[in-house]
Amino acid sequence: MSEELNYKRLRDLAREEKVQPALVKLPPEFYASIEEFLSSKFSEMESSRSVMHMREFENAVATIKEISSIRQQKILFKAIRSNGAHGETTEMTREEHELYDRFCAVLTDEQQKMALMLSRFESRKPKQSPSQEKREGPTPSEENNFKKVRFIKDVPAYKGVNNETFGPYKPGEETDLPMTEADWLLRGKLAEKASD
């Protein structure tokens, strides 16, 4: 990294990652730096056998896990938002880019399976008469292009289609969201439709 990795720098990164909706830009060698840092801390702990060094090592591991977990969530959300299509990944490390590729591949595969299954039924669907189509207008919420959802999982703040920030949301929280945002949250099993 351009600056020496230490516990304070790790805590700062964890704090930044929590408050920023987008991924914090990391240098390509970030994970290699973490390995070197932990190796050094582990050696210190083994040679000194002091409680202070042991605690420092445990705190560093916990902080690294926290950073990694938040970033993995954001990378997964980015893959879901892009519908499996590859987007800009300059803020990711090499390892994270590989993870993003795997997420995108899984999503594309699942979309193809779903499209294939649905196509078998679409071809057999009875056609509606023009009079039926006129009667079935959009619901008030669809007319306004908003949908009410209830969150079933923790969702960190993220950037939507128009670069608008949404979240963070907690399980049980309800809110009206634009249809595009609500739909991908429902597809990702992060929220369920709430009654108006």
Q: What is the pLDDT of residue 64?
A: 96
Q: Which residue has the tokens 């909706």?
A: 21
Residue 42 and residue 85 share a domain: yes
The residue range of the domain holding 148 is 129-196
Q: What is the pLDDT of residue 142?
A: 47
Q: What is the pLDDT of residue 99?
A: 93
Residue 106 lies in a domain: no
Q: Measure the CA angle with vertex 32, ends 52 and 10; round to 5°.
A: 45
Strand, helix or coil for residue 192: strand
Q: DSSP string spanning 12-41?
A: HHHHHHHH-SSPPP--TTHHHHHHHHHHHH
- Joined tokens for residue 180: 């595009």
Residue 85 and residue 21 share a domain: yes
Residue 115 lies in a domain: no
Give whole-number Cα distances, 54 to 44, 58, 125, 143, 171, in Å. Answer: 9, 6, 65, 59, 35
Residue 88 and residue 150 share a domain: no
Q: DSSP string spanning 104-131?
A: HHHHHHHHHHHHHHHHHHHTTPPPPPHH
Reading the chain (196 residues) residue by residue, the pLDDT tens digits are 445 788 899 999 999 999 999 999 988 889 999 999 999 999 988 898 889 989 999 999 999 999 999 999 999 999 888 877 777 788 899 999 999 999 989 988 888 888 888 887 776 666 665 555 444 444 544 446 888 999 998 888 777 766 678 888 889 999 998 888 888 888 878 899 887 6
- Comparing CA positions, the residue from 100, 102, 95, 101 lying closest to residue 33 is 95
Residue 123 lies in a domain: no
- The enclosing domain of 162 has a CATH number of 3.40.5.50
Last residue of a domain, one of 98, 121, 155: 98
* Total domains in the fold of the chain: 2
Strand, helix or coil for residue 167: coil
Q: Which residue has the tokens 């720098």?
A: 9
Q: What is the pLDDT of residue 131?
A: 53
